[in-house]
Amino acid sequence: MLRPGGHLGFSDLALRTCPSATEDRALRALRAVLYHSGAELVSDWPALFARHGFRVVECRDILSETLPTWKHARAVYERRDGEVTRRYGRRFADRILASLEQIPGILAMHGTYPVLRAQKPAARAAELCELASWPLDLSLVRRDSRALGGFDRVGAESQGAALPKSPRRAEQRG
């Protein structure tokens, strides 16, 4: 569970527009990479996160940086052509190679690869009380009293200062 005010990172290969039927077949030939038809991949991830209350802090499209990966994938399939053919047959091997040749162009035309950082909204005090299921008296959170030796308890603890021991604890040990 992401705490209020927490950040999350997200990335996904998605499509901005629907590919043609021929392009969609090339995409689906690579089931290990794309499990759905192109029409199902059209997503505006930043808008989806914003619609669910997240604040999109940063968003970049890294598609152009990932396109060389497809040339590498094709080279690996070509290098292991004999193994792929023995395992899956010549027809399948040829279809995979043809698809790998088309993928970079299809993605360059229709694709996006958003990488985003989003922040969950911070909880309000009333929500915190409800989550904790006990009443919260905010007047007790911050004090500057002689009993604490003049320390602001919250500020002192956050700065690593040692707080004076309470008189009650001293009596219990005594």
Instruction: Note the pLDDT tens digit of each residue in 37-58.
Output: 666 666 788 888 999 999 999 9
- The fraction of the chain above a pLDDT of 90, given in percent, is 32
Are 68 and 147 within one domain?
Answer: no
C-alpha to C-alpha distance for 51 and 20, rounded to whole angstroms = 29
Per the CB < 8 A criterion, the answer to whether 8 and 117 are in contact is: yes
Are 156 and 112 within one domain?
Answer: no
The SS3 assignment for 56 reads strand
Whole domain around residue 170: which residue ranges? Answer: 143-174
Are 31 and 93 within one domain?
Answer: yes
Q: Is residue 20 part of a domain?
A: yes
Q: Is residue 138 part of a domain?
A: no
Are 88 and 159 within one domain?
Answer: no
Are 103 and 158 within one domain?
Answer: no
Residue 139, pLDDT score: 47
Q: Kindly report the pTM of this predicted structure.
A: 0.60
Are 23 and 87 within one domain?
Answer: yes
Question: For residue 3, which phi and psi values (nearest 5 degrees)?
Answer: -70, 155
Are 24 and 100 within one domain?
Answer: yes
Instruction: Note the pLDDT tens digit of each residue in 101-110.
Output: 999 999 999 9
Instruction: Note the pLDDT tens digit of each residue in 112-155.
Output: 899 999 999 987 655 555 555 544 444 444 444 334 333 333 44
Confidence at 166, pLDDT banded by 50, 70, 90: very low
Ordered alpha helix ranges (H), the chain: 21-28, 45-51, 63-66, 68-79, 81-88, 90-110, 125-132, 153-158, 167-173
Are 98 and 148 within one domain?
Answer: no
Q: Count how many domains the chain has.
A: 2
pLDDT mean over 92-111:
90
Residue 155, pLDDT score: 40
Query: In which residue are the tokens 């990335």 written?
Result: 11
Per the CB < 8 A criterion, the answer to whether 93 and 30 are in contact is: no
C-alpha to C-alpha distance for 7 and 55, rounded to whole angstroms = 9
Instruction: Note the pLDDT tens digit of each residue in 11-33.
Output: 988 888 888 988 888 887 766 55
Could you tell me if residue 57 is left (phi over 0), alpha (psi between -120 and 50 degrees) or otherwise beta?
A: alpha
